[in-house]
Chains A and B, each alone.
Chain A
Amino acid sequence: MSRHAHQTSRRRFPALFLLALGLAARAALGADLKLEAQMIWGANDPPARVKYNLADPALAAALRHHFKWTNYYQLTNLAAVIPLNQSRVVRLSGQCALNIKYLGSSLVAVDNIGQGKPVIKGTNSLPCVFVGTNLDDTAWFIRLRSLDAKK
């Protein structure tokens, strides 16, 4: 290696090191959130009478542990990418939408919007599940989780 090439290589090393450090910090902070939003319906109706697919068995088991309904069906499953400190509206149904802001480190600020009006606002660590009951003794669930953490 010539002296010039050697000096160039020595100058590049700190730059590459800083670049790697920056990338690592960016990855650690979680610059973008790859979010999965699922809407689940909890009911006692047997699967044969319901046109929706059963929800993820692990999630269904967790829900069954806390709630009275026997079966949990997945109505919608959406994915969104939310940059750090930015918000995205995720519309799960004609009546229900979420305005989600990613705060970093698996933390989200969520505005639940029902029928066009803000219903509940809060800050939650992912994964989280919002639960509401219907008047016909069924329930709906919205699960938010990071697709990166899913691996």
Chain B
Amino acid sequence: MKHDLELKLQAWLDAELSAAEAEQMRRRAASDPEAASLLAELQNTKSALLQNEPAVTVPEARPFYWSKIQRQIQRQASVRPSPAPPWAERLRRWLAPLAGAAALAAVLLLALNPFAPPVVNQVSDMAEGFQTRTFRDDSAGINFVVFHQTPQPSDAPAGAAPAHTRNDGSSFVIEVE
């Protein structure tokens, strides 16, 4: 027997079918011995359950009984205290966002580096007859100050021999031969 037919027989027995379907099931039970046998078995089971089910008497009237249950549920929901978090947990709740903010601030400070000293590379004074030029090599991070003496007419008398630098490790002397 098909499972659908079994279910329909059971539904007929429980008076859940429409009149047309009930009539169809009645004819089927009359013509099909297997269906009739199942129907009889289901009827027996149902009557056995009905006869042996213990009767439970609700102490109060039904509406009052259900409202009592509802009040009990509401009371438990309102009375149940939320467990107090331990101090470590409360501390963690405060510290976690603070630590995050501190880390973010540290990253920003490192990136912007507002405490880095300003780069200074300036000449404030020089002797007469000198020229200077300053520049910075950013890749090497070095400040350069280049200076040299401007040639003076009196420094190079006509016929003077070329100058040479002598350096012996302890002094730098410009010699004129």
Contacts and interface: CB of A to CB of B under 8 A. Distances in A.
Nearest to B117: A105
Contacts of A96: 172
A contacts with B: majority SS: strand
Nearest to A103: B120
Interface residues of B, number: 37
Contact of A121 (B119, B125, B137): B125
Interface in B80-123: 115, 117-123
Contacts of A41: 167
A106 interface: yes
Interface stretch (A2-10, A15-23, A81-89, A122-130): A122-130
A130 B145 contact: yes
Interface in B122-164: 122-127, 130, 132, 134-135, 137, 140-148, 162-164
A32 to B, nearest CB: 16
Interface string A26-63: 00100000000000010000000001100000100010
A120 B147 contact: yes
12 contacts: A62-B137, A93-B167, A93-B172, A120-B127, A121-B125, A122-B125, A124-B120, A125-B121, A128-B142, A134-B165, A136-B165, A143-B142
Given A121-B126, A122-B125, A125-B143, 6 more contacts: A94-B173, A119-B126, A120-B145, A121-B123, A124-B145, A130-B147
Interface of B: 115, 117-127, 130, 132, 134-135, 137, 140-148, 162-165, 167, 169-174
